[in-house]
Structure 1
Amino acid sequence: MASSVLLSHPLSSQLHLPKRNLLSPNRSRFPCFYLKTADQCKSFNARLPNRPAKLKNFVLHVAKTDVEGREGSQLVGEDSAVFELSKQKISSWVYFTGILGVVLYVLNVVWIDNSTGFGKVFIDALSSVSDSPEVVMLLLTLIFAIVHSGLASLRDTGEKLIGERAFRVLFAGVSLPLAVSTVVYFINHRYDGVQLWQLQGVPGLHELLWVSNFISFFFLYPSTFNLLEVAAVDKPKMHLWETGIMRITRHPQMVGQVMWCLAHTIWIGNSVAVAASVGLIAHHLFGVWNGDRRLAIRYGEAFEAVKNRTSVIPFAAILDGRQKLPDDYFKEFLRLPYLSITALTLGAYFAHPLMQAGSSGLHCEPYALGCCIEAEGREHFIRPWLTATKTCFYRGQDGACVHCLPSYRWMLQVGVAYAHRLPTISAHVHIMRNRLPSSTKSCMHALMLPRY
Structure 2
Amino acid sequence: MPTLLYLASAVLLFLSHAVPSWPGVRPALLGRLGRPGFMTLHSLLSITTLTLFVLAYRGADTAGHLFFPADGAAKLAVALMPVAFILMVARVTTRFGEPAAPRPAAGIYRITRFPGSMGLLLWALLHLQATGDARRVILFATMAAIALFAMVKNDWVLRRSPAPKAAAFRAGTGAVPFAAILFGRQRLVLGEIGVGRVLGGLALYAAILHAHPLVFGVDPLYWLP
What is the CA–CA distance in structure 2 between the aligned matches of 1:243 and 1:191, rounded to whole Å?
Answer: 45
User: Which of 24, 28, 44 is 1:157 aligned to?
Assistant: 28
Q: Which residue of 2 aligns with 1:435?
A: none
Give the Å deviation of 1:149: 1.9
Q: CA deviation at 1:416?
A: 6.8
Aligned residue among 204, 214, 218 for 2:86:
218
Matches within 5 A, 1:184-223: 185-186=56-57, 188=58, 192-199=62-69, 202=71, 205-222=73-90
- Taking a change above 3 Å as real, the CA distance of residues 287 and 310 of structure 1, as seen in their structure-2 partners, is same
TM-score by length of 2: 0.79
Q: Which consecutive unaligned segments of at least 5 residues does structure 2 have?
A: none
Q: Secondary structure at 1:249's aligned position in 2? A: coil
Partner Cα distance (1:131, 1:182) in 2: 11
Q: Which has the higher strand share?
A: 1
**Superposition deviation, residue 250 in structure 1:** 0.8
Structure 1 segment 214-363 matched on structure 2, within 5 A: 214-222=82-90, 224-225=92-93, 238=98, 240=102, 242-296=105-159, 300-325=163-188, 329-334=189-194, 336-356=196-216
Q: Determine the C-alpha separation between the residues in 2 that align with 1:337 and 1:417.
A: 26
**Matching residue's letter, 2:21:** A
Give the structure with the larger helix fraction.
2
1 CA distance for matches of 2:7 and 2:117?
A: 18
Structure 2: how far apart are the matches of 1:418 and 1:337? Answer: 24
Q: How big is the shift at 1:210?
A: 0.5
5+ residue gaps, structure 1 = 1-129, 228-236, 357-414, 424-452
Deviations 1:345-370, CA, capped at 9 Å, x for gaps? 221221123323xxxxxxxxxxxxxx
Kindly name which structure, 1 or 2, has the bigger radius of gyration based on alpha carbons: 1
* Cα offsets for 1:45-82 (capped at 9, x unmatched): xxxxxxxxxxxxxxxxxxxxxxxxxxxxxxxxxxxxxx
- The AA in structure 2 aligned to 1:287 is A
- SS at structure 2 position matched to 1:420: coil
Considering Cα pairs closer than 8 Å and 6+ residues apart, tell me whether 1 or 2 has the greater RCO: 2
Across the aligned residues of Structure 1 and Structure 2, the Cα RMSD in angstroms comes to 3.2
- TM-score w.r.t. length of structure 1: 0.43
Tell whether the 8 Å contact from 1:191 to 1:268 is kept in structure 2 after alignment: no
What is the distance in 2 between the residues matched to 1:143 and 1:418?
Answer: 29
**Aligned partner letter, 2:93:** F
Deviation at 1:307, TM superposition (A): 0.7
Letter in 2 for 1:144: L
Counterpart of 1:179? 50
Quick one: distance in 2 between partners of 1:179 and 1:281? 15
In 1: Cα distance, 2:201 partner to 2:55 partner: 21
Q: Structure 1 residues 176 and 285, CA, compared in 2 at 3 Å: closer, same or farther?
A: same
Q: Are the aligned partners of 1:141 and 1:276 in contact in 2 as well (CA < 8 Å)?
A: yes
Distance in 1 separating the partners of 2:54 and 2:210: 17
Specify the code of the residue in structure 2 equivalent to 1:214: P
Provide the identity percentage. 25
